[in-house]
Structure 1
Amino acid sequence: MTRILCISLSPIRRDARVLRQIGILRQLGDVVSVGYDEQPEGVVEHIRVPDDRLSLPQTLSGVLKLGLHRFDSVELEAPGVSYALDRLKGREFDLVVANDARVLALAFAVADGAPVWADMHEWAPEERTHVLSWRLLVAPFMIHLCRKYLPRASAVTTVGGEIAKLYQRDFGVSPQVMRNAAPFADLSPSEVSADRVRLVHSGGAVHGRNLEAMIDAVKMLDARFTLDMYLVPAADGGRYLRSLHERAGGDPRIVFHDPVPPAALPATLNAYDVGVFWIPPVHTNARLTLPNKLFDYVQGRLALAIGPTVEMERIVREHGLGVVSDGFDAPSCAESLRSLTADRIRGFKNASDASAERLSFEHEGAAALAMLRPLLPAS
């Protein structure tokens, strides 16, 4: 039986992209996963990396080597990477999947000549360049890993066309685009009320995603508008999420919910009218983002309200899915929502319904299988 290793130093059970990836890999063989948290569904074995084993070389010696640009010597020194490497020694696989640049060296060390699929979820060199320590120490390391390993990968993928162009420009590879599309959900648009507009947002409670503007925008709008938020707490002990509760100030129109599993999300979203997301272009990945939630909103048969974000705007306008604000500040967001009537919302929701199959993961998965099958031994 074909043996496939899927490495993602993330909590895989909550990582929608990697879960969909595992669904593809299962069609090709037995999948062994490496990552944080408990075993995800669909794998035959899970190597659980302890939560305190970080995915970057943030040890004293690691930081020193990063500062001195001794990148070759630090590639396998991150605690999470070294932990995984120790438990994978002597194992053989027919395909190794590396999720994100930080595990590229590990993937090639374990592959021992087997093909490597490098799934670069976003633009690795600028993942967190808004953080000074990342910009000074980690970004050059990410560039080193991409430059050294991506040309050696048998397959490279990323989330959108604009980011694919950056990998082509800087590292000479031509990634296949595999968007963060959700699986097709057999749903119909819910009824629209003339006197109520039910806004919804799902995702992580993470700084930089402009969640404050969503709350502020609703406060600027009339009583028709409500906002429900399904938020995953960040790794800050829930501090940022608590700050959002405080910002809402007990407004009864703004309701916070526990997150729901990715598979249950479209049915949950289906009860609402408009999926909202206004992320400012604070760095390259934000400027070019094409996130899970856009496709989740489509599968939930919602209208969309977004900011002028390049890849998102292209899809919303092409398919007639909703409104695009002029800016990312709360007044601009509120102004775009004021233009929504019951008839317009109904039209946008019907457009989501018409586009749901075309914008589903089934299309992305078929392309991924066609990419991977030639890499595997003939059965």
Structure 2
Amino acid sequence: PLTGRPYQWHRMRLVFQRGKAFYLEFTVRLFWALLVRRADLITANDLDTLLPCYLVSRLKGIPLLYDSHEYFTEVPELVHRPRTRAMWLWLERRLFPRLRWVITVNDSLARAYTARYGGPVEVIRNLPLRQAPPPTGERPAMLLYQGALNLGRGIELMIDAMAFLPAYRLEIAGRGDVEEALRQRAQAMPNVHFHGFVPPEALRDLTCQARLGFSLEEDLGANYRFASPNKVYDYIQAHTPVLVSDLPEMAALVRAHGVGDILPADARTPQELAQRVRALVEEPARYRAAVEACQEAAQQLNWEQERSRLLTLYERVFSEQ
């Protein structure tokens, strides 16, 4: 359950849990749920909610805001499934040019959508709430991955690198499609631990204990190439330096704020990754500088600083009604 939320929420219990039947049931159920509820504005969160939100917004004559958190038609799960991807592309091509209000999470995605469909796409970053400073003091020799355990997240590389980092342990927090394969891969690795799903409050505590946070997405298509993973901002809020892939948005963030290191595309081997970890964590002056950079960046990269952009956009939407 979602606890402690300052808004109402409703979780739909679906008969089907995956595949085309899941999306069909979800789309129909969401359409009727929106149709019978009163609203002044509808926000469609990613392409898989857009059709019912668009239809209801037209039927009721209320504005629709499309919030694209990722490049949905370019996710790795679709890139190698041409028929399924073609279906989502058809839907996107039919609806996107008709949308008046579109936001996404970074400049790379905004440019990609504008190049494909024209029209303005505004950037509102999906930043976390500002958190109280974490406890001070030396942290244990713990490396952290938090997030979905899905294809192309670089988790296999992290696990393999632990053979060259015997003094460290890798904590993996999350669930996903490749979880069982990852557990099998790590069976002989005593310094790799899986936590499964971790509630947000407990995840924050875990993140504050880590010496380093990983975000090593592979370049498996435009979605990962232009990704701005939430976990990177969560690491920064916890004053935990990061090691990220050399992909445009993540690398630009690290270079701009100095919050960690970047793993080059030609260095994605277990030995090279282990060397990068030690070079950052075991060099006191360099590590201290990265922690201090996280402390400074955390004051800027938070929702309290970003939310005014969304509120201003809402004002513009309603002023045109």
Match of 2:70 among 117, 122, 147: 122
Map residues 132-171 of structure 1 onto 2, 5 A cutoff.
132-133=80-81, 135=82, 137-171=83-117
Distance 1:165 1:377 in 2: 26
Matched, 1:210 2:158: no
Report the residue type matching 2:55 in the other structure: A
Q: Which amino acid aligns with 2:10?
A: H
Judge which range, 343-352 or 38-47, deviates more. 38-47
- Equivalent residue in structure 1 for 2:163, among 203, 212, 219: 219
Question: Aligned pair in 2 of structure 1 residues 154, 261: CA closer, same or farther (>3 Å)?
Answer: farther
Q: Which residue of 1 aligns with 2:275?
A: 335
CA distance in 2, matches of 1:162, 1:95: 27
Paired residue for 1:374? 316
Using a 3 Å threshold, how does the CA distance of structure 1 residues 120 and 323 change in structure 2: closer, same or farther?
A: same
Unaligned segments of structure 2, at least 5 residues: none
Counterpart of 1:144, as a letter, is W
1:81 corresponds to which of 27, 51, 54:
27
Deviation of 1:82 (Å):
1.3
Shift in CA distance, 172/369, structure 1 to aligned 2, threshold 3 Å: same
Q: Could you tell me which amino acid in structure 2 is paired with residue 252 of structure 1?
A: P
Contact 1:298 1:352 in 2 (8 A): yes
**1:210 CA drift (Å):** 1.7
Please say if residues 190 and 271 of structure 1, whose CA atoms lie closer than 8 Å, have aligned partners that are also in contact. no
Structure 1's 362 and 265: CA in aligned 2 closer, same or farther, altered over 3 A? farther
* Secondary structure at 1:369 match in 2: helix
Identity %: 26
Q: Are the counterparts in 1 of residues 129 and 303 from structure 2 also a CA contact under 8 Å?
A: yes
Higher strand share: 1
Secondary structure of residue in 1 paired with 2:169: strand
Report if aligned partners of 2:76, 2:220 keep a CA contact under 8 Å in 1: no
TM-score normalized by structure 1? 0.75
Partner of 1:97: 43
User: What's the offset of the Cα at 1:99?
Assistant: 0.9
Q: One-letter code of the match for 1:218?
A: M
Distance of aligned partners of 1:96 and 1:215 in 2 relative to their CA distance in 1, 3 Å threshold: same
Shift of 1:47: 5.8
- Structure 1 residues 377, 352: CA separation in 2 closer, same or farther (over 3 Å shift)? same
How far the C-alpha of 1:333 sits from its partner, in A, is 1.6
Query: Which residue of the other structure, out of 227, 237, 241, is the alignment partner of 1:303?
Result: 241
**How has the CA–CA distance of structure 1 residues 124 and 207 changed in structure 2, closer, same or farther, with 3 Å as cutoff?**
closer
Asked if residue 41 in structure 1 is aligned to residue 27 in structure 2, the reply is no
Partner of 1:31: none
CA–CA distance in structure 2, aligned partners of residues 301 and 141 of structure 1: 42
Q: Return the alpha-carbon distance in structure 2 between the equivalents of residues 98 and 355 of structure 1.
A: 30
Q: 242-251 or 347-356, which moves further after superposition?
A: 242-251
- Secondary structure in 2 matching 1:48: coil
1:274-330 C-alpha deviation (Å, 9 max, x unpaired): 101211101111111110100010011111111212100100111011111223332
String of CA shifts for 1:324-360, please: whole Å, max 9, x gaps.
Answer: 1223332332221131223322221111011102011
8 Å CA contact 2:239–2:295 kept in 1: the answer is yes
Choose which of 289, 297, 303 in structure 1 pairs with 2:227: 289
Q: Does 1:50 align with 2:42?
A: no
Which of 99, 113, 128 is equivalent to 2:61? 113
2-structure distance, mates of 1:108, 1:207: 30
Counterpart of 1:265 in 2: which secondary structure?
helix
Structure with the bigger percentage of helix? 2
Matched to 2:302, the amino acid is S
Match of 1:326 in 2: 264
| Cα deviations by residue, 1:165-215 (Å, 9 ceiling, x for unpaired) | 01100111222112232111111464336xx64211111122221211101
Q: Structure 1 residues 246, 102: CA separation in 2 closer, same or farther (over 3 Å shift)?
A: closer
- In 2, the alpha carbon distance for the partners of 1:336 and 1:216 equals 14
Aligned residue identity for 2:306: E
How many equivalent pairs are there? 314
